[in-house]
Amino acid sequence: MASHRKPRTRMRTTAPAVGLTTAALASVTLLSTQSATAAPAPKPSIEDVQKKVDDLYRQAGTATQRYNQAKEASAAQRTKVDALLDDVAKRADELNEARRTLGAYAAAQYRTGSLTPSATFFLADDPQSYFDQSQLMNRMAAQQQKAVTDFRTQQTKASKKRAEAVRGLEALTTTQATLRTSKQNVQQKLGEAQTMLSKLTAEEKARLAALERKKEAEAERKAEELARQQAAAEAEADRKAEEAAKAAGSGSGAGAGAGTGSDSSATTKAEKVLAFARAQLGKPYVWGATGPSSYDCSGLTQAAWKAAGVDIPRTTWDQVKIGTEVATADLRPGDLVFFYDDISHVGIYKGDGMMIHAPKPGANVREESIYYMPIHGSVRPA
């Protein structure tokens, strides 16, 4: 019966196992690749963080100057547009008045009708009345022609002013868009800097502070060296002046007086500039601010020189173009010192290699070595 059947041999195969092993290897390889791809980038060194943060603050300073420039342009354009709109309204009133005058003449002509000179002559009570009426009509015709001319003139002027006002409004829209973009750029750069700093551990923050102290110490050393050089140069100048005065004898009085007035005036202005700047020490840096409770760098320099009776432009890019260029070795108190290749920062020289400036967000107006940042150049406003 069924007992003669041979039992079915159970075949063992390694195919499934091989397939499973291949899939497992593929998974391991994929996971390894993903792990390698997802591996976090190495954490930047504190030196790199310091460099990056400083660069972000510098970029924010540049964006701040663009913001200041756009804000100033926007304000000027707004004033211009307001004046144009006032002028357009005035032209509209004059045009309406000319239109009313012209309408009055048209209505009068409609009421009286249009008669030929012959008809007017025959309808006149007497020749004298005819001539009087004729002269009156001539005068009215001349006035009517003048009214037409005035209307056309006012119409042309009004049209031109309206077109100019439209262009002014378009320019205002453009400058306001630039203003918004500059503001966003400042906020973006400052946000990136703050994010980097917020990720530092307490130990890393301490190391960063140590790097800052080292940087400040080196800057102060250079300031002291400049102070010694300036003191030596001043002493030498005084010695030569004294020798020249002795050699000139009694004639030195007139010579010594030459230029004293202008030097005295410049010194007085510089003293007022520094007095104002010192009074702002401790006030916070706020980008775009011009005082009195906070300042950005060029806002402080502009306000300080205004306190001395001298109006200077708003941005560092314009301030660097005024006055007289001065070498670093020849700096005097009150001079403006500019920094970085893009001229995005400025401070007020106070003497001995030091300046008063509004540094950056999170810091207050303070005294600092002019060598804390790379110097671009210096000017003497007045």
Q: Which of 357, 361, 371, 379 is catalytic?
A: 357
Domain coordinates in residue numbering, the chain: 46-198, 263-380
Does residue 99 or residue 106 have the better pLDDT? 99
| Residue 357 appears among annotated catalytic residues | yes
pLDDT at residue 38 above 70? no
| Residue 4 appears among annotated catalytic residues | no
Token readout for 341 is: 């290749």
100: confidence class by pLDDT, cuts 50, 70, 90:
confident
User: CA nearest 144: which of 110, 117, 106?
Assistant: 106
* φ, ψ for residue 12, nearest 5 deg: -105, 135
Among 140-149, 170-179, 292-301, name the most confident range. 292-301
Q: Which of 56, 70, 274, 297 is catalytic?
A: 297
Global pTM exceeds 0.85:
no
**382 to 33, 97, 203, 312: CA distances (angstroms):** 67, 53, 48, 10
Does residue 181 or residue 8 have the better pLDDT? 181
185 burial (CB, 10 Å; 0-12 / 13-18 / 19+) is middle
Sheet strands (E) in the chain: 324-326, 336-339, 345-351, 354-357, 366-369, 375-380
For residue range 270-308, what is the model confidence (pLDDT) as tens digits? Answer: 999 999 999 999 999 999 999 999 999 999 999 999 999
User: CA nearest 145: which of 185, 184, 187, 101?
Assistant: 101
Distance CA 151, CA 104 (A): 13
> Which contacts of 48-57 are long-range, i.e. CB under 8 A and separated by 24 or more positions?
49/196, 49/197, 49/200, 49/204, 49/208, 50/208, 50/211, 50/212, 52/196, 53/193, 53/196, 53/197, 56/189, 56/190, 56/192, 56/193, 56/196, 57/189, 57/190, 57/193, 57/360, 57/361
Mean pLDDT of the region 145-154: 74
Distance CA 364, CA 362 (A): 7
Token readout for 77 is: 């354009």
The CATH architecture assigned to 263-380 reads: Alpha-Beta Complex (3.90)
Does residue 42 or residue 220 have the better pLDDT? 220
Distance CA 379, CA 363 (A): 25
Q: Which of 161, 283, 345, 380 is catalytic?
A: 345
The answer to whether 46-198 and 263-380 have equal CATH topology is: no
Range with lowest mean pLDDT among 135-149, 215-229, 262-276, 368-382? 135-149
Say whether domain 46-198 belongs to CATH 1.10.287.1490.
yes
| Residue 376 appears among annotated catalytic residues | no
